Each structure stands twice: as structure tokens, then as C-alpha cells.
Amino acid sequence: MQMKRWIRPWLFIAPALLSITLLKYYPIAQAFFMSLHEYDLVHPPGRFVGFGNYKSLLDIGFFWTSWRNTFVYLVLTLVLAFIPPIIQAVFLNEIKRFGRLFRSIYILPVVIPLSVTVILWKWIWHPDYGLANMITRYVGLGTHSWLNDLHLAKFALIFPGFLGGGIAVFIYLAAIQGIPEEIFEAATLDGAGKWRQLLRITLPNISFVIAIQLIFTVIGVLQILDLPFQMTHGGPVNSTSSVALGIYEYAEKNMDYGAATASSFMLMFVILLITVVQLLLSKEDTN
């Protein structure tokens, strides 16, 4: 008996749909439920407090510091770390000899675990014998405390991204290589130089990929946890704490699961809002 045509696609997506519902959306719903309670692990769910956990968070200075830091991370990332992979991909595309070698060099950092990168950069930023101070001293900029400096610590955490590399370069490179060669040839015949080709052909043709990358970058940075956790534990004086690090601390250190989940939902709401705005702008731009 032939299976009804409309059933087939549902059967294919059913396992994934079921998994996502059970492992993603159910925990999200459960977390929202927790956020409305003074959650008691022994006698769940504990006392219902409505949006009391949300309100309490708004009264805590640390909560606002974390949000401020998180947005500074976002700005620093967009300014320092978002553009370099695009530039690197453009140049990598131009390199014909040793192209594979350079692509390998760029992909290599991706396979290095974050913990290793953290150890390396902690050494680079070390106030006494770090490479960063050797360089700044050499160029006459003096020495700095970097991670120990309230004003430089966030910069020091994000700066490694300025060096580019990583998977983003390859996403852009693949997009650039997907642009038909004929377009560049026609532009060359019409007298367009490399700079004009970049602005008029390359960037417009990969703008969709850039928009996607931008969305994922924003989502990723707003959830930043691993870097401040491993590099500075959120210090000094909370200058590198982030919203996600705060969530971790509410849950793991204070065992205040109500506050942790409430903070998670606030973060989710902000990310959703920003993502929707980005998508609307992107759509408007495309139109």
C-alpha cells in the first residue's frame, strides 16, 4: 500500500521535531515556570512569586553591571572582531599561490580548545612578562595591567577576535567563491577596478551571509560566558561579568534557580527583540 504523500515529510521530520520539543522547548517552558517561583529543589516548585524574581533582579546593582558589560562586549566585538574575517576572506580569495596553505593556517585556530586559548592569552596579557606589554613598551605606549585594569579588561577579553581567523573566514570565503566568475570578468571588461568590484559585486553578493553572521554574532556575544569565566571570573570588581555569567552564579553559587531562570528569560527576550529587529532591517534592506 502506498503511503499517503503528505505523511512522508512528517515522518522524516518527526524524530527531530520530537527531540527538539522534548529537549529544548519543554525545558524552556519548565524554566519559565521555575522563574515564577522561589524554586525549592526538595519540594518543587516552591512558593509562587509571580514576576517577583524578575523584579528583584532589577533592584540588584550587579545585574545592571552585567548587562552594561554585556553590551560593551557586543560593541567591542562588532567594532574589533566582526570585520576582520570579511577582509581576510576577500584577500584569501585573491591568493592563488599557496592558497591552500593559507586556508589551513586560518582554520588551525578553530581546532584549538578554548581553554588552551585562554591560557595562551592570559600569558600574553600578564602584567610582568606578557607579550602584550613587551610590544606596547617597544612602541612607546608603556605597560598596562590589562586583565587587572577595570577599564581595559573587557577590551583584553575581546581583542583576540580582532586577529580574525576561524570558521567565519571560511563561511565568507565560500560565499565569495560562490559568486559567478563571469560577473567579475564583465566588470573588469567594463573597467571596474578591484576596489569597485569589492564594493559593487563582492560585498552585495555576500551581504546575506554577513547578515546571518551578524545575527549569530550578536546572539553569541549576548550569551558570553566562557571567556569571562575562564579569564577573570568576572572580576576585577565585576568589570568583566556578563549576564550569562550572572545566571551561572545565581544557579551554581547561590542556588537561586528562580533568579537564574528569570535572568535567562530576560536575556532571551532581549536577544529575541534584537534578532527580530535585525531580521526586519535585513528584509527591508533586501527589498
Binding residues (CB under 8 A) for other proteins: these are 20, 24-25, 27-28, 31, 40-44, 59-62, 122, 126-129, 145, 147-150, 215, 219, 223, 225, 231-233, 235-238, 244, 247-248, 251-255, 257, 260-261, 264, 267-268, 271-272, 275-276, 279, 283, 286
Q: 99 has which bridge partners? A: none
Nearer to other proteins, 88 or 217 (CB): 217
Give the DSSP per-residue string, 195-213: HHHIIIIIHHHHHHHHHHH
CA atoms of 88 and 169, how far apart (whole Å) = 7
Nearer to other proteins, 66 or 88 (CB): 66
State the minimum distance, in angstroms, from the CB of residue 225 to other proteins. 6
State the minimum distance, in angstroms, from the CB of residue 239 to other proteins. 8
- For 110, the grid coordinates are 578553530
> Please, are residues 20 and 14 in contact by the beta-carbon 8 Å criterion?
no
Nearer to other proteins, 60 or 183 (CB): 60
Nearer to other proteins, 3 or 42 (CB): 42
State the minimum distance, in angstroms, from the CB of residue 148 to other proteins. 5
Among candidate residues 267, 70, 250, 87, the one with its CA nearest the CA of residue 157: 70
Nearer to other proteins, 196 or 233 (CB): 233
Residue with cell 586577529: 163
Among candidate residues 233, 259, 253, 267, the one with its CA nearest the CA of residue 59: 259
- 47-to-35, 36, 73 alpha-carbon distances in Å: 11, 9, 36
State the minimum distance, in angstroms, from the CB of residue 243 to other proteins. 8
State the minimum distance, in angstroms, from the CB of residue 147 to other proteins. 5
